[in-house]
Structure 1
Amino acid sequence: MDVIKPPEPTKRWRRWMWGLVVCVFGVSVWLIGPSDQITRLGRHDVLIATVEYGPLSIGVDSFGVLRSAEQHLITADSDAVVKQIYLKAGASVAVGEVIATLDNPDLSLAVAQAQQALQSSDMALQQLILNQQREFLSEQTALDKLTGDLATARLRLQAEQGLAEKGIISHLVFAQTQSRVANLVRQMQSAQQRLDQLKKLHASAQQLASQRIAIRRQELARSRARLAALTITAPVAGILERMPLAVGQRLTVGDETALIGSQTQLLAELRVPQSQVQKVLPGQTVTVRIRDQQVTGTVGRIDPVVAENSVKVEVALPQTLPKAARPMLSIDASITVAELDQALYIRRPANVREQQAAQLYRVREDGATELKTVQFGALAGRYVVIEQGAEKNQRWIISDLSNLAQQGVQVALN
């Protein structure tokens, strides 16, 4: 009987080897691909913008917060310990509303001591007035006595004058009477001067005593004010912008206890990049976006200090603001630094900077795309000026396709 031999294994392995070579070659061709490969993108996957021509405002974009144009800082009047906190930062406050209470037992003692000192000064003034009245009455009595003696002496002199002329009395007696009258006149003048000086001395002493009383009253008022200041209240209505207290915290004189800002008079505090701030000038128009609304303000002050590569710019806002406006609210704004009568511009493509060139894909009328180099100029908020490389009404892909553009890959839109 014939025996069937199996096929030789060498021929089978040879066929497998040739098949493997063909597969490797096909994969290599697929990986390498043609030099003009095309990437297909859906139209809904990219952003397409049209080149426009017309007037354009050049602006500097920035961000910041709303600040109160009027702020009231409350500080500690004395050393104290925080006893209780009623309101925290961000709360609205009315005039006289209690924010927190402090504790300092020494202030009550200071008030009592000031009251006692004031009472002592009042009593000292009353005693001084009584003593002065006694001294004045004593001097006045002496003056009255001299006045009476002088009147009597003058009557005697008048009577003796006729007798001396008739020789009834000697001229010596008449001369003695004349001398007595002159002496009494001098004594009365001295007494009157002493009385006038006493009046001035009394007035000066009373003035000094009154000044001491005024000082004691001021000390008492100050002690009472410091005691009352242990209850921290809002001096104005507004919003509590900052309140850095904690229960049990120890305060010293001058430490901040609260910062209250006005809710009606606000300004915008913007952070402008250092590279852009040289374009900003006082008086320029600013469009401030507060939530979903916009208001127009004016650049008021530019801070000369650079912090974290940005400069603080204060913007004055109108009196009437959206209801959402409140201190510490984050905002963004655009500062108009120039007005172009006619310019070629487009919505700002991704990763495009001013005064630089970039490669973008232009969308032709037939839907095909072509890679072109476009030179850009100044930024204008959401838009950017085109210096060259594009024309009016042309459509361009503004999505970030920089990786494809660097490789020179063609893009097709589905």
Structure 2
Amino acid sequence: MKIELTTNRNKRRKWFLAAALASGVAYAAYGLTGADIPNIDIETLSFAKVVQGELNLYAEAYGEFYSAKERLLTAPAQGKVAEVLIRPGAKVTQETVILRLSNPKLEQELNQAKGLLAQQQAQKAAFEYEQQNQRLNYRGSIADIEAAIEEAELELKVNQDLMSRGVAAKIELQRARLAVKQQKKRLVFEREKYQQLQEMQLFQLKQRDIEIEQQQANIQVLTQQYGNMQVKAGISGTVQALEVELGQSVQLGQSLAKVGSDKELIARLRIPQRLADQIDLNALVDIDTQKGRVSGHITRIESLVTNGVVLAEAVLDSALPGNARPALPISAGIFMKTASDAVYIKQFSGMRPHSSQQVFVRDNAGLARQKTVTFGELSQGKLIVKSGLKAQDEIITGNVEALSQYAAISLVR
């Protein structure tokens, strides 16, 4: 009997162990299969449907507007800042005077140069009178020789008449002929000397003219320097920087201020390095200024990578919004390519590009089950689905953190 009692007691112990094990397995299965499915009012949830089709892919970029035209204002000569009329941020036109510089020495040099020019011009006028007198003297000498020739020819004619009558000696006739010949040679030489005198005088006048032209050019440079002591903007826009103070001494060529256009702007954008190779020159750009949108196209992409981004420039093709100005922060979408059969959803809070996340996917049985979904690029608010979802799937887009402990939820009305 004792043996039988021990046997029955062992059987009862095995039964209790088996029942406990079965209960544990059942409890585990209950948790794993999500048997504790909560009921959630469907009206309190929002859904997004997965779409499949053609999708234009844009690279998201950030940057700012820059002036398309910039002008650096430098000191035209040594001087001192006598007056500051415009401060940074003020709008200016081409003729707006930003600074006035003073340089008494430059003004003195200009006056001296003008005095020297007047002196040179007076000397040239006097020299022209001297040349004219020289020409008159030569013309007088030529006239005297021509008169002497006429006298010698007359004497020759008389001697020829006397010779024909047998009155004059032959020697006198020869002397008269020689006198005519000598005077004619003198006339030829004198005329050649007169021609050379005229040519020499032309070169002398040209030399005087060159000296005067050089002095006029010197005066023009000094006048321009003196006029530029009133430092003008040169272009329409805004003063972006002022690098000197009132009373400060400046040297020739020293930077004074910078002016940039405010109506002609370009966009400088920072593109993620992983996307830069997919963007071509002339790629279309959609720029958002928070108060308006403007279109453009890429004109330059730098090859240097800094902190994981590549800088690019875009020219604007449409009218600027009212808030557009240099240094205004902007965001932009840069066209990369068109995906013909992309699977995507509209991005909602919590969904991050290039990540794997748990989402609740709605089924036809009135349930929403958790699934692991891998997302790819984000393009203009549309998030590409790489895996885990298919077209027409619906996912819960509301705040579902409180439901993340459940494998599934029941959707009720």
User: Greater CA deviation, 327-336 or 230-239?
Assistant: 230-239
Q: How big is the shift at 1:317?
A: 1.2
Q: How big is the shift at 1:259?
A: 2.7
Kept in 2: contact 1:348–1:398 (CA 8 A): no
Kept in 2: contact 1:360–1:396 (CA 8 A): no
Deviation string, structure 1 residues 244-289 (Cα, Å, up to 9, x no partner): 3322333222223233333333222222233322112111111011
Tell me, yes or no, if structure 1 residue 251 matches structure 2 residue 250. Answer: yes
Q: After superposition, where does 1:151-190 map in structure 2 within 5 Å?
A: 151-190=150-189
Runs of 4+ off more than 6 Å: 34-47, 398-402, 411-414
Other-structure match for 1:3: none
Other-structure match for 1:361: 359
Kept in 2: contact 1:360–1:397 (CA 8 A): no
Q: How big is the shift at 1:383?
A: 2.1
Q: After superposition, where does 1:79-158 map in structure 2 within 5 Å?
A: 79-158=78-157
User: Greater CA deviation, 134-143 or 49-58?
Assistant: 49-58
Other-structure match for 1:352: 352
Kept in 1: contact 2:80–2:248 (CA 8 A): yes
Q: After superposition, where does 1:15-414 map in structure 2 within 5 Å?
A: 49-318=48-317, 320-348=319-347, 350=350, 352-354=352-354, 358-365=356-363, 369-396=368-395
Q: 1:392 to 1:233 in 2, by over 3 A?
A: same
Q: 1:79 to 1:43 in 2, by over 3 A?
A: farther
Deviation string, structure 1 residues 9-29 (Cα, Å, up to 9, x no partner): xxxxxxxxxxxxxxxxxxxxx
SS in 1 for 2:274: coil
Whole-angstrom CA distance in 2 between matches of 1:44 and 1:213: 95
Kept in 2: contact 1:286–1:297 (CA 8 A): yes
SS in 1 for 2:61: strand
* TM-score relative to the length of structure 1: 0.80
- Aligned letter for 1:153? A
Deviation string, structure 1 residues 22-74 (Cα, Å, up to 9, x no partner): xxxxxxxxxxxx89899999999998643222321111111222223333332
Whole-angstrom CA distance in 1 between matches of 2:40 and 2:110: 83
SS in 1 for 2:140: helix
User: Structure 2: which 5+ residue stretches go unaligned?
Assistant: 1-30
Whole-angstrom CA distance in 2 between matches of 1:261 and 1:223: 28
Whole-angstrom CA distance in 1 between matches of 2:386 and 2:90: 51
Deviation string, structure 1 residues 67-119 (Cα, Å, up to 9, x no partner): 23333332211122223222222211123222122222221122122122212
Size of the aligned set, in residue pairs, is 377
Q: 1:393 to 1:139 in 2, by over 3 A?
A: same
User: Structure 1: which 5+ residue stretches go unaligned?
Assistant: 1-33
User: Greater CA deviation, 272-281 or 161-170?
Assistant: 161-170
Whole-angstrom CA distance in 1 between matches of 2:50 and 2:222: 73
Deviation string, structure 1 residues 295-346 (Cα, Å, up to 9, x no partner): 2211122234444443332212125222222233221111001112332112
Whole-angstrom CA distance in 2 between matches of 1:351 and 1:117: 81
Kept in 2: contact 1:157–1:174 (CA 8 A): yes
Whole-angstrom CA distance in 1 between matches of 2:82 and 2:308: 42
